[in-house]
Amino acid sequence: MSIPWAIYFAILVAMGVWVIRLKAVEKEQAQALEKIERERRAVFMFLNNLGERLTTSRIAMEPALQIIIEFIVDRADAEAGAIFLLDPADNQLAARVVQGMFPLLNPTTERVLTKQKYLTERVKRERIPLGQGVIGEAALTGKPILVADAANDPRVPNVTLGYLTIRSIMAVPLRARGVVTGVVAVVNKREEAVFTQADLDLLLMLADQAASTAEMVKLYNEQAEKQRIEQELRIAHDFQRMLLPSECPDVPGYEIAAFSRPALEVGGDYYDFFWVDPEQRHLGIVIADVSGKGIPGAFVMAMVRCTLRVVARGRLSPREVLVEANSRLYADTKENVFVTMTYGILDTQRRTFRFSRAGHEPLVTVKYDSGAVRLTSPDGIALGMVDNDLFQTTEEAELHLEPGEAVVLYTDGVVEAMDPEAREYGQKRFFDFLVAQRHSPPQEIIENALKDIEAFTRGHPQHDDITLVALRVRTDIMEVRVQPVVSAAPTG
């Protein structure tokens, strides 16, 4: 497995280099966009190519089976043989390996099959439904078939071309753990002889060997695939941790905390903070949930993160930022991938939180004194799904925050956390909890929320990531310089 490891290492390095470069690029606003577009495409192509190469760590089934069929044909003293495997998806059999001039089993009028290479290819393309002919019947009934006089057996096609005439044929089902997985067949005993019961007994024994070899190869490949997936998840996990902020920003007058825990090794959630303006007055806050998981999910997440950081710069309307981000993501993501996001801008001086919701959970705020809960859910569509004509309907809301008021952003993994009886944690319990916790600093709110969710789920495994961002205006905010602002920020 040394080759895949090298490739994984290459992915990690490439992605790491890419991220570091992006960070540098973000500083040069002017050329940033074009460059990022280019790099994004390059990384995307790189990953696509790798995806194809990674499958080569498997043991190919054909060479293993080829060795077996050569052995069988030789020992059975047959002119030709083939191993057919059953595709459980459509219940049809197809020859995976062929030895000798194995004839077509469906009637044909084609006359180009004089070369063994062409004939073999043609035989491999043939699909035999379960129950049809000698092969189909052996697979369906699970019983071996010996046809000594093929000319008078309706199950065998009559072929006039001499070298394709079937004089006698034997077909034996292949079994793995009691289930028929295919059929091995040999045709025409050499020297014009006819297969006998003794030949069939020999074939039965050899077929058993063929079946167990095929099964072993399959299990090995499944195991290799499992290991491959585990490695993929581990790397995506590390990669994803790299993308989350290592610490929350220190903003005078406010307290901020955040947490994200993937349900599996890799999740689709993320959060982010960045300053929208060089004066560090407007803080951008992001929470998002990417619909894909694993490396594709982590990659989309990286794409979303860098897109957002670029388009958010200098824009004071979250709606405008999401519309811009959507147009890029709609073009770049697959049709079944979407991202829910809440993007808000905290005006640290006016003490407002202006935000848009791209199909994400509602925003919840809790007042310090009364414990009043505000749920704000402006209209919005998840990112990456629709073109901008429709996405334009996304709205924007602005909340004025009081001293001590808490703003909480969360992903659906919080409210959809399930207990062993499949009941959901739910908005009500979550909001009641937030009201009870409203005097605690954000870090404690989050820590205690996780404890409350754990108490509710009682160890039941969770299927979705849990991400929380909590912000609270300090109760002593009035001591911090608050300037009245004359003009409101422009809107999109």
Partner 1 sequence: MKAFSFVSRELGDQKDAAMFDLRGYIDAHTVIEFERAVNASIDGGVKSLVLDLSGLSYISSAGIGAMMGLARKLSQRGGDLVLLSPTQKVFAILEGLGFTKIFKIASSETEALEKLNIKVS
Rounded least distance, CB 386 to partner 1, Å? 6
359 is a contact residue toward partner 1 (CB under 8 A): yes
3-state helix, strand, coil in the chain (%, to 5): 45, 25, 35
Q: Which stretch binds partner 1 (CB under 8 A): 3-11, 15-23, 364-372, 378-386?
A: 378-386
Among positive and negative, which fits the CA dihedral 135, 137, 142, 143? Answer: negative
The tokens describing 332, both together, are: 């770049």
Where b means 16+ CB within 10 Å and e means fewer, 424-440 reads bbebeebbebbeebbeb
382 is a contact residue toward partner 1 (CB under 8 A): yes
Cα 404 from Cα 271, distance rounded (Å)? 23
Q: Which amino acid is at 408?
A: V
Among 96, 293, 305, 350, binds partner 1 (CB under 8 A): 293
Rounded least distance, CB 336 to partner 1, Å? 3
Among 340, 342, 356, 365, binds partner 1 (CB under 8 A): 340
Site string for partner 1, 119-158 (x = CB under 8 A): ----------------------------------------
Angle 294-312/2-27 helices, nearest 10 degrees?
A: 10
Q: Which stretch binds partner 1 (CB under 8 A): 172-180, 205-213, 381-389, 450-458?
A: 381-389
315 is a contact residue toward partner 1 (CB under 8 A): no
Q: ∠ CA 35-40-46 to the nearest 5 degrees? A: 130
322 is a contact residue toward partner 1 (CB under 8 A): no
Among 386, 399, 436, 489, binds partner 1 (CB under 8 A): 386
Q: Which helix (H) or strand (E) holds 209?
A: helix 197-243
Q: Which stretch binds partner 1 (CB under 8 A): 52-60, 240-248, 269-277, 353-361?
A: 353-361
Which residues have C-beta within 8 Å of that of residue 440, sequence separation ≥ 6?
448
Site string for partner 1, 421-450 (x = CB under 8 A): ------------------------------
The tokens describing 46, both together, are: 């790189």
Among 342, 394, 437, 462, binds partner 1 (CB under 8 A): 394
Angle 442-457/426-436 helices, nearest 10 degrees?
A: 140
336 is a contact residue toward partner 1 (CB under 8 A): yes
Rounded least distance, CB 233 to partner 1, Å? 14
**Is-contact 4 52, C-beta < 8 A?**
no
**Is-contact 185 28, C-beta < 8 A?**
no
Cα 187 from Cα 194, distance rounded (Å)? 10
Q: Which helix (H) or strand (E) holds 258?
A: strand 254-261
Closest CA to 438 of 468, 470, 401: 470
Rounded least distance, CB 262 to partner 1, Å? 13
259 is a contact residue toward partner 1 (CB under 8 A): no
Among 52, 192, 335, 421, binds partner 1 (CB under 8 A): 335
Site string for partner 1, 28-67 (x = CB under 8 A): ----------------------------------------
- The size of the interface with partner 1 (CB under 8 A), counted in residues, is 26
Rounded least distance, CB 346 to partner 1, Å? 24
330 is a contact residue toward partner 1 (CB under 8 A): no
Among 269, 324, 361, 465, binds partner 1 (CB under 8 A): 361
Site for partner 1 in 455-484 (CB under 8 A): 463
- Give the SS3 label for residue 89: coil
Q: Which is nearer to partner 1, 100 or 384 (CB)?
A: 384
- Give the SS3 label for residue 197: helix
Q: Which is nearer to partner 1, 256 or 382 (CB)?
A: 382
Which residues have C-beta within 8 Å of that of residue 464, sequence separation ≥ 6?
263, 267, 411, 412, 413, 416, 417
- Give the SS3 label for residue 40: helix
The count of other CB atoms within 10 Å of the CB of residue 195 is 24
232 is a contact residue toward partner 1 (CB under 8 A): no
Q: Which stretch binds partner 1 (CB under 8 A): 10-18, 177-185, 386-394, 453-461?
A: 386-394
Which residues have C-beta within 8 Å of that of residue 131, sequence separation ≥ 6?
137, 139, 140
Chain residues in the site for partner 1 (CB under 8 A): 89, 268, 289, 291-293, 334-338, 340, 358-361, 379-382, 385-386, 390, 393-394, 463
